Amino acid sequence: MYTGKFTPEEAAHLLRRAAARGNRSEAEALAEMGLAAAVDHLLAEPASPPEPRFEAGEKPNRAKEHRTLAAAWIDHWLSTPTPAAERLVLFWSGHFTSEIRKVRIGRLMWEQQRTLRRLGPGKFPDLLNAIARDPAMLIYLDNAKSKKEHPNENWGRELMELFTLGVGHYSEADVKAAARAFTGWSITPPRLAREKGRPIEFVFRRAWHDDSPKKYLGRTIEGGEDVLAILSEHPQTYRRLAGKLLRFYLTPEPDEAKIQRAAEVYRLEGGYGFLRWLFTHEAFYAPAARFALVKSPLEYLVGLLYVGKRPDRRLLTRYFLGTGQIPFQPPGVNGWPSGQAWLGDAALLARLNVLPLLITEKSDLAVFAGGGDAYAAVLPAAQML
C-alpha cells in the first residue's frame, strides 16, 4: 500500500495511467480527495456511450461505418465521466482482437466493444464466456461456420495461444479437441437477420456439433463450455493475463514475484479489483514507474484532444494511418504492438506533426508533465504515460 504523499503530481500520474487523459484541475481535485477516494472515483461503473447511427441496407458503406465507429469511441473517451473504463477497453481490444475489415458489420464491432466495457472490469470467466459467444469474434476467427465434418481450428488455437494460456502450455491435440468442442457455435445468418429485422446473435447449431468425448488438457470433455471452464480456472491463464496487465499499466518488464501476486489478485478480484490494488500500490508511484510507458497513438491523441482543439475527421484518418494504430482494425490477431514499437521514425513524425494542430500556448498540458507548466518540457513527456 502506498503511504507517501498524494499531491497533484501523483494524481496526474494516476490520471495518465488510468485514463490517458486529464488536466490540471482534475489532478488537483483527485489530490484533494486522497488516494483511496481518488481511485474509487476513477473506477466507477463504466458509463455507456450513445450508439452510433449505422446505415441500413444490405451493402452499407464500410469505410464510412469504420469512421463512424472510431469517431464515436474517441468522442465517448473524451466526454465520459469514467475514462478509466475506456483505457481498459483499449487493453481488452488489443487482447480479444477482431478486425472490422473481416467482420464487415459495424454494429457487431460496436456490440463487442460494449461487452468489453461492461464485463472487462469484472471476473475473467464472465468476459471469456461472453467473447466465446460474441458474433464479431465468431466471424473473425471463422467459428460461425465450423461443423463436425470439418472443424475450424482458428478460434480454438487463438483461444489458447493468445487469449489464455500462451504458447507452450498446450498441444496440437488440444487445439484439435477444442475445435471439435466448439463446432456448432454459430450466429444468426446476417441475410436472415436483415430480412426478419432481427439482431445477429449467438446460435448453437446442435446438428453441426461433434458431441463425442474428447481429451483436452488431460481431461475428458464434450463441448465448448468445458473448454472455457478449464481455461477459466487454469493458473497459467491468470499468470499470462497478469503479465499483460502489468506491462500495460505499470512497467515494461514486471518481475515474476509481481506477476504472481497480480495473478492472484486478478483471479479473485477481477479487472477493477486488480486496478484498485495496483493504483494503491507503492510500486505504482515509485520514481522509476513514472513516464515509463510509451503511449499508444490512440492514447496520445486522446490526451491531446482533451486539452486542445478538435480537428476535422480527415486529419484523424491521416494520423491513424501514419502512426499505425487504427481503431477497430489491429494489424492481426496478435493485436497492436506496444512500447518503443510506437516510436519509429514515421510514426513519431506523425505524432509531432499533429501536436501544433491541436495544441495552443493556452492549452492545459500540466498533466503530461506531472504538474509542470513549461511547454518545452511537455514535448517528450507527452509521448509517455
Entry pTM:
0.95
Quick one: pLDDT at residue 312? 79
Quick one: pLDDT at residue 373? 45
Nearest Cα to 169, choosing from 177, 180, 161, 159?
Answer: 161
pLDDT tens digits, residue range 222-265?
A: 999 999 999 999 999 999 999 999 999 999 999 999 999 999 99
Quick one: pLDDT at residue 359? 81
- The amino acid occupying position 253 is E
Report the 10 Å Cβ neighbour count for 346: 9
Per-residue pLDDT of the chain in tens (385 residues, 90 and over written 9): 999 999 999 999 999 999 999 999 999 999 999 999 999 999 999 999 999 988 776 678 889 999 999 999 999 999 999 999 999 999 999 999 999 999 999 999 999 999 999 999 999 999 999 999 999 999 999 999 999 999 999 999 999 999 999 999 999 999 999 999 999 999 999 989 888 889 999 999 999 999 999 999 999 999 999 999 999 999 999 999 999 999 999 999 999 999 999 999 999 999 999 999 999 999 999 999 999 999 999 999 999 999 888 887 888 889 999 999 999 999 999 999 999 999 999 998 998 888 888 887 677 766 766 544 434 444 555 688 8
Contact 164, 231 (CB under 8 A): yes
The CA distances from residue 109 to 26, 83, 86, 269, in Å, are: 32, 20, 15, 27
Q: Hey, which bits of the chain come out as E strands? A: 185-187, 202-204, 214-216, 219-221
User: Which of helix, strand or coil describes residue 224?
Assistant: helix
Per DSSP bridges, beta strands 185-187 and 202-204 are: antiparallel
Quick one: pLDDT at residue 370? 55
Grid coordinates in use for 350?
506523425
Residue that has been written with the C-alpha cell 471476473 in this structure: 123
- What does residue 156 show for φ and ψ, rounded to 5 degrees? -60, -35
Q: pLDDT averaged over the chain?
A: 93
Residue by residue, what is the 3-state secondary structure of 210-245? CCCCEEECCEEECCHHHHHHHHHHCHHHHHHHHHHH
Report the 10 Å Cβ neighbour count for 63: 10
Domain boundaries, the chain: 297-381
